[in-house]
Amino acid sequence: MPSPSNSAPSSSSAANGTRRGRPGYDQQTVLNIAVDVFNRHGYEATSMGILAENLGITKSAIYHHVPSKGDLLRLALENALGGLEGVLDDPRASTGPADARLEFVLRGTIEVLTERLPFVTLLLRLRGNTEIERDALERRRQFDRRVSELVDAARAEGSLRSDIDPRTTTRLLFGTINSIVEWYKPGGSLSGQKLADDIISMVFEGLHDKR
């Protein structure tokens, strides 16, 4: 069960008792549960009725928190994309040798994935059937392009092996990192920090023992 918050009811819900959420539910709690339901059933297959059932509140109570299912999706994707874009906007992503910048960005990406796992999972499973989804996919492509430019730069400075095409390199890096949404369990014995170390070790140094 979600932990209750102490947010006061808004004036609109006070004016109309039927539109109030379960006392103590705030928008973030509604969003967290909605994202879990989207990931389990798929966004399109999830009706406001299914959401209400999972939240244990009425459909109209959901509308107290967000105007539509699309707004829940938009907020959830903003959480994922905002986190990823924040990594690229950090000064460490744009100063110093490209190799170090690339490592910083990959570590940051892994951190966002592990800390916002359900949100990034939702982003990675998008099919682009609505404008909200298409906008998110365009932002994701933009993120991928900027990482791809870092791969090019690291290769140009001689840090990365040149026998693998840079596009393939970028695909494999994202493939490896994104695949953790399929199995990583936050709060388990493998911390996000150790996972980031492991991935960085494998992709940059390789699994072979060089002793």
Work out how close the CB of 34 gets to its own copies at its nearest, in angstroms, rounded to a whole number.
20
Q: Of the two residues 26 and 99, which places its CB atom closer to its own copies in the complex? A: 99
Q: Of the two residues 75 and 126, which places its CB atom closer to its own copies in the complex? A: 126
Work out how close the CB of 202 gets to its own copies at its nearest, in angstroms, rounded to a whole number.
6
CA distance 196 to 203: 11
Could you tell me which of 176, 143, 153 has the C-alpha nearest to residue 101?
153
Q: Of the two residues 10 and 162, which places its CB atom closer to its own copies in the complex? A: 162
Q: Of the two residues 75 and 181, which places its CB atom closer to its own copies in the complex? A: 181
Work out how close the CB of 115 gets to its own copies at its nearest, in angstroms, rounded to a whole number.
18
Could you tell me which of 202, 7, 200 has the C-alpha nearest to residue 109?
200
Those residues whose C-beta lies under 8 Å from the C-beta of residue 186, and which sit 6 or more positions away, are 114, 115, 117, 192
Q: Of the two residues 115 and 165, which places its CB atom closer to its own copies in the complex? A: 165
Alpha helix (H) ranges present in 45-95?
48-55, 59-65, 69-89
Task: Annotate 86-95 with b (16+ C-beta within 10 A) or e (fewer).
Answer: ebbeeeebee
Contact positions vs its own copies (CB under 8 A):
99, 158-165, 168-169, 171-176, 178-180, 182-183, 190, 195, 198-199, 201-211
R_g (Cα) of the chain, nearest Å: 20
Work out how close the CB of 23 gets to its own copies at its nearest, in angstroms, rounded to a whole number.
35
CA distance 3 to 51: 18
Q: Of the two residues 80 and 160, which places its CB atom closer to its own copies in the complex? A: 160
CA distance 87 to 111: 9
Work out how close the CB of 199 gets to its own copies at its nearest, in angstroms, rounded to a whole number.
7
Work out how close the CB of 204 gets to its own copies at its nearest, in angstroms, rounded to a whole number.
5
